[in-house]
Amino acid sequence: MERFLGDEGIAKNWAYPVKHVDPSAPEIAIVGAGPAGISAAYHLIKRGYRAIIFDDHTEAGGTLRTALPPYRLPRSLLDAELERVLTLDGITFQPHTRLGRDMHLNELEEQYQAVFIATGAQRSMEWSIDGVVPRDLQSGFELLKQWVDIGTVPTPKSVAIIGAGNTAVDMARVMKRAGVPEVHILSHKPIPKPGIPIEESMPAIPREIQEALEEGVIIHEYRGIRRLILRGERVVGVELVHMKKLMQPSGRLKRIAFEGTETILNVDQVIPAVGQVIDPTGIERLAENHSRLQVDKWGQVIGHPGIYAGGDVTPNAGTVTAAVGDGRRAAEAIDCALQDKALQESGEASSIPFDKLNMHYYELAPHVQEPTLPIEQRIGDEEITTSLSAPLIIKESKRCFSCGNCLACDNCWMLCPDSAILKTKELASSASHYVFDYDYCKGCGLCETECPCGFIQMVDES
């Protein structure tokens, strides 16, 4: 549904709710034009600031442009979204400008009211098996950037990709598209399926994992590499071992190898996709030898007032959504700091357990399937999953349970035996159209029981 609205916004050129920014407004420096940097710029101009975005690439987009395969994010769509934001009044984009080479952090601190760092995690983590590294070792992240940039990757007869995240799955699918006959993913974790906790399964997007399997990628669950089998300095195979988490005497779970479960997998190349860390160039005094910048919940770099950070340069969730949220929070924090205002503390949102929903008020309806490119046509950059039509979007929206949000169904108002619930025309303080008169309420709990979406909760007065 979000995608449909985004596509509609581009097609119909929906205007962003921003006003003209005064030319003399305070300027904020943003280093990095990925999702976090773009989000920070947008929310800063909404608050009346001018945002100057620096990036060492020729075009904005960050990793979305440099390492995400086009079959997942068409570049025409990315260009359209970015153009809508970068052309807003108050935003200036300066490409070909690298922190630590063309400018320095202390200069930014002197020239701008605040600095937001959103340079991402651009350096692959080091990888070896007991110190052994093949001569031709290349990381999955670097090979993805190579594929996106020039359209080529090595094409051995068989390859093993080590990792369980989106980079590993993307790399595997790219290798299949490049013509590699046999592509393996070696994962300590299992494929997501019912009965396996989310935190214990492969962290890659489940849909991407399923599509990879459809395209012929072989996933080895609960497997680690015991040793590399080399001929000279070239890989000719790997020795795998079964891995699983077991409870230790200390009470903590630890992943261990099961002796006697070793097997040999013949491959011509191994590609580690085990994560990225930051490139500390230009931000050495902020990094302090950490793999990520350490920030508070508002994005301010700890120990460095006036400097904020977001996206993959921080220990966030590693998603585009999280990066966009980082930019918004940092913009709010910068505004409050410059205006000498206190930040508004927001309580942690609690989820509604499924058993709090009254399913008797919902009709069963199947999930609407997104249009997907047939497997035999997945050979290039063609987008795999496309948008739903407007009628299907409406159909799918009717499946929403509105968890924890009032549906204005009138159940509580109609069923209260003491008429202790009053209906209002305007939204009440509870964000519903109902007010409870506690002088008449006897606490029978009928309203809570019959509330379809879990909005009403009975709380002990003590």
Question: pLDDT of 70-102, one tens digit each?
Answer: 999 999 999 999 999 999 999 999 999 999 999
Q: What is the pTM of this model?
A: 0.89
What is residue 83's predicted lDDT score, i.e. its pLDDT? 96
Question: 418 by DSSP, 3-state: which?
Answer: coil
pLDDT in tens, 36-76: 999 999 999 999 999 999 999 999 999 999 999 999 999 99
What is residue 340's predicted lDDT score, i.e. its pLDDT? 93
Segment (H or E) for 275: none
Task: Please tell me the distance from the alpha carbon of residue 349 to that of residue 347, in angstroms, as a whole number.
Answer: 6
The domain 351-462 is placed in CATH, from the list 3.40.190.10, 3.30.70.20, 3.40.50.620, 3.40.1010.20, at 3.30.70.20
What is residue 232's predicted lDDT score, i.e. its pLDDT? 87
Question: 391 by DSSP, 3-state: which?
Answer: helix
Compute the radius of gyration of the chain from its Cα atoms.
26
8 A C-beta contact, residue 130 and residue 161: no
Task: Write the burial class of residue 308 (CB in 10 Å: 0-12 exposed, 13-18 middle, 19+ buried).
Answer: buried
Task: Please tell me the distance from the alpha carbon of residue 244 to that of residue 255, in angstroms, as a whole number.
Answer: 5
State how far the alpha carbon of 91 is from the alpha carbons of 4, 13, 18, 42, 48, in Å.
Answer: 26, 18, 12, 8, 11
State how far the alpha carbon of 211 is from the alpha carbons of 183, 308, 356, 369, in Å.
Answer: 14, 38, 34, 14
- What is the share, in percent, of the chain residues with pLDDT greater than 70? 99
Average pLDDT value for residue range 111-140: 94
Average pLDDT value for residue range 218-242: 94
What is residue 347's predicted lDDT score, i.e. its pLDDT? 66
In sequence order, the 6+-apart residues with CB closer than 8 A to the CB of 374 are none
Which of 50, 160, 174 has the alpha carbon at shortest distance from 113?
A: 50
8 A C-beta contact, residue 176 and residue 152: no
Task: Please tell me the distance from the alpha carbon of residue 386 to that of residue 135, in angstroms, as a whole number.
Answer: 40
Question: Phi and psi (nearest 5°) for 105?
Answer: -60, -40
Which of 89, 81, 59, 27 has the alpha carbon at shortest distance from 320?
A: 81
Mean per-residue pLDDT over the chain, rounded: 93
Question: 309 by DSSP, 3-state: which?
Answer: strand
8 A C-beta contact, residue 443 and residue 461: no
8 A C-beta contact, residue 225 and residue 232: no
State how far the alpha carbon of 13 is from the alpha carbons of 9, 10, 43, in Å.
Answer: 5, 5, 19
What is residue 71's predicted lDDT score, i.e. its pLDDT? 94
pLDDT tier at 224, thresholds 50, 70, 90: very high
Residue 334: CB atoms within 10 Å: 26
Task: Please tell me the distance from the alpha carbon of residue 53 to that of residue 117, in angstroms, as a whole number.
Answer: 10
Segment (H or E) for 327: helix 320-338
For the chain, residues classed under CATH 3.50.50.60 are: 2-122+278-338, 124-276
What CATH topology corresponds to 124-276?
FAD/NAD(P)-binding domain (3.50.50)
Of residues 353 and 158, more confidently modeled = 158
33-58: string of b/e by CB count within 10 Å (b at 16+)? bbbbbbbbbbbbbbbbbbbbbbbbbe
Q: Is the dihedral of CA 199, 140, 59, 211 positive or negative?
A: negative
Residue given tokens 């395969």 in the structure block = 69
Considering only 180-184, 307-311, 430-434, which range has the smallest mean pLDDT?
430-434
Q: Are strands 50-54 and 91-94 parallel, antiparallel or unpaired?
A: parallel
Furthest-apart CA atoms within the chain: distance in Å:
85
Task: Please tell me the distance from the alpha carbon of residue 41 to that of residue 24, in angstroms, as a whole number.
Answer: 16
Residue given tokens 């209906």 in the structure block = 423
State how far the alpha carbon of 104 is from the alpha carbons of 226, 258, 344, in Å.
Answer: 44, 50, 32
What CATH topology corresponds to 2-122+278-338?
FAD/NAD(P)-binding domain (3.50.50)
Question: Phi and psi (nearest 5°) for 296?
Answer: -85, -175
What is residue 100's predicted lDDT score, i.e. its pLDDT? 93
Q: Is the pLDDT reported for residue 247 higher than 90? A: no
Q: How many residues does the chain have?
A: 462
Which of 133, 127, 460, 427 has the alpha carbon at shortest distance from 276?
A: 127
Residue 365: CB atoms within 10 Å: 10
Question: 101 by DSSP, 3-state: which?
Answer: coil
Considering only 1-5, 249-253, 257-261, which range has the smallest mean pLDDT?
249-253
